[in-house]
A and B are shown apart, each in its own frame.
Chain A
Amino acid sequence: MTADQIIFLLCAALILGSALLVVTTRKLIHAALWLVVALFGVAILYAILQAGFLAVVQVVVYIGAIAILFIFAVMLTRREMLDKGAQTRSNWWLPALLGLAILTGLVFLIIRQPAFGRTAAQIPVGVDTLRNLGNALVSPDAFVLPFELASVLLLAALVGAVYIASGNKK
């Protein structure tokens, strides 16, 4: 087993374990913090795959913005947000069965892929993946249209949020 594989297995265990704790822990703020751990694990996965840009953006966007807003919202609620009731419903076995079926199907599909079991090719020295990504995002024969459309969509959301927050000034 290479060092990469050991790191990957540890990281996958971390993601799965903390993701499980997000939905099972009873304290709301602990759930939010376990979510941070899970998202951080995903960032490590990107770093292993030599996608440094995605890893850093994962931390900036998901931990720096979204998770901190989650925690902020949770902190504004009562301190002891403990749900005393049962954590499962009586028909819990049905979604569990469905989930298991989907997992089996996905594993079956992935195993049949020709790329399964191969190690990732090393990016040759001198190739700047970040520069290639940036060029692809703004070049007309690549992704400039979806990229610009997404920014227009985000701007519309921003303007809408400002309008709603400013209230009805009649």
Chain B
Amino acid sequence: MTILNDPINFIAGWMRSLLTGWGLPNGLTTVIIYFIGITVLIVFAMVLDILLVWVERKVVARFQDRLGPNRIGPFGLIQPFADIIKLIIKEDITPAGADKLLYNLGPVLAIASVIILWAILPLSAKIFGVDLNVAVLYLVAAGALGTLSIIVGGWASNNKYALLGAFRMVANMISYEIPMVVVLLIPTILADTMSVQGITQAQSGMWFAILSPLALIIFIISAIAELGRSPFDLNEAESEIVAGFHIEYTGMKFGLFYAGELLHAFTFGGFLAVLFFGGYGGFFGLENTGFFSWLNNPFVQVVVFLTKAMFGYWVIMWIKYSMPRIRIDHMLAFNWKFLTPLALVVLVNTAVLSKVLLGLPNWGYVLGMFFSNIVIGYIAVEILRAYGRNQRKAEATLSSQRSQSQEQAL
């Protein structure tokens, strides 16, 4: 065990021998080392978050044919630090009639609900917080706390727009949680485990994105809905309810909501990588051949993981800055009448096929899974098209009847 093969355990072992050498009891040493480990993980996530502000602003600028921040530092890299200083020295206003304790709890919960997700994010085979055997459910549980932060912040602000934003968030969250939970079962079935390390290792031969592309698409849609980003950003729709749940927040409290949203989006990019793109591994067996064995190095794995997570984050940003916001009834109808049934069909298909195709060689399994998903996706799109055609026909007959009756009246 050297610092290159297993850095975290190496440092932890060194610190343990150091602290016990000082005469500290064994139990206290464990507590101190865990505490330091948690702090380092949180600091890593928060420092990454500062850079994400720059990434987000640069990428949205490119999508909108602008330059983005480019004045302070090389490529505007120091811009987020200027933003932070500005946010901290702004006046901190608590609205009259606000529930003080809950009002201050909102932003804290918003960022905490994201950071607890980092406990299960596997940065590499050796660098991770904890390998839970219920990690997939943990992801859903952390989402519940995120919703709670928005409800608490929206209610405690004593503002009608904030309350409307909170209501919309509940409707959004309760409905889109269902396809998300259903679709999270698909990597669980394919990997035969709920632990994220197990899911990552199960994809060393073949990504789940190829075995079940429909599950990937449904997961992206429901993840964006849970993040509350466009086209599902009804909770802060600035053209209707000004800024939604965070309308009253000023200075760094607003900053915490903003930073929490960015880090949440990046974290979901990370889960996209873990659940569907092989996480830190997934080189189709390449890492076991002699020449490419350096891919198994933990530092290389961290870089690979962060690159894949950044790609997922980029896809989420791409959708955010290309799509208009959808109406709330369309959003709910889309979820309940289309996404949820589709997710259930894909789940049943995966569960049955993963047992039926078990005897086939590997390529048969992969092709069978892939084409069954393509067939289901094609049928779903055809059903949607027929539905849209019927709607347009009904509207056309309605409007022609209306114009006829107007002519008769004249």
> Which residues on A are within 8 Å of B, measured CB to CB?
2-3, 29-30, 33, 36, 52-53, 56-57, 59-60, 63-65, 67-69, 71-72, 75, 79, 128, 130
Contact = CB atoms under 8 A, between A and B. Distances in A.
A63 B194 CA distance: 21
A64 B194 contact: no
B141 A33 contact: no
Nearest to A36: B148
Contact of B134 (A63, A69, A130): A130
A57 B102 contact: no
B133 A68 contact: no
Given A64-B143, A64-B144, A64-B147, A3 B27 contact: yes
A71 B155 CA distance: 10
Given A33-B152, A72-B170, A64 B137 contact: no
Interface in B127-176: 132-134, 137-138, 140-141, 143-145, 147-148, 151-152, 155, 158, 163, 166-167, 170, 173-174
Contact of A56 (B141, B155, B166): B141
Nearest to B144: A64
A2 B31 CA distance: 12
Contact of A75 (B133, B158, B163): B163
A60 B133 contact: no
Contacts of B141: 56, 59-60, 63-64
Q: Is the interface of B mostly helix, strand, loop or mixed?
A: helix
A79 B156 CA distance: 10
A128 B99 CA distance: 45
Contact of A3 (B31, B99, B102, B151): B31
A52 B145 contact: no
Given A52-B132, A71-B151, A60 B137 contact: yes
A39 B102 CA distance: 18
B167 A75 contact: yes
Interface residues of B, number: 28
Nearest to B136: A56
A53 to B, nearest CB: 5
B177 interface: yes
A140 B333 CA distance: 39
A53 B193 CA distance: 13
8 contacts: A2-B27, A3-B31, A56-B132, A56-B134, A64-B147, A65-B144, A68-B147, A130-B194
A68 B151 CA distance: 9
A27 B163 CA distance: 17
Nearest to B156: A29
B259 to A, nearest CB: 23
A30 B173 CA distance: 22
A72 B166 CA distance: 9
Given A52-B132, A75-B151, A79-B158, A57 B27 contact: no
A25 to B, nearest CB: 12
B133 A33 contact: no
Contacts of A63: 141, 144-145, 148
B166 A75 contact: yes
Contacts of B137: 53, 56-57, 60
Counting from the closest, the 9 A-B pairs by CB-CB distance are A64-B144, A59-B141, A56-B137, A60-B141, A56-B134, A53-B134, A130-B133, A72-B170, A56-B141
Nearest to A52: B134
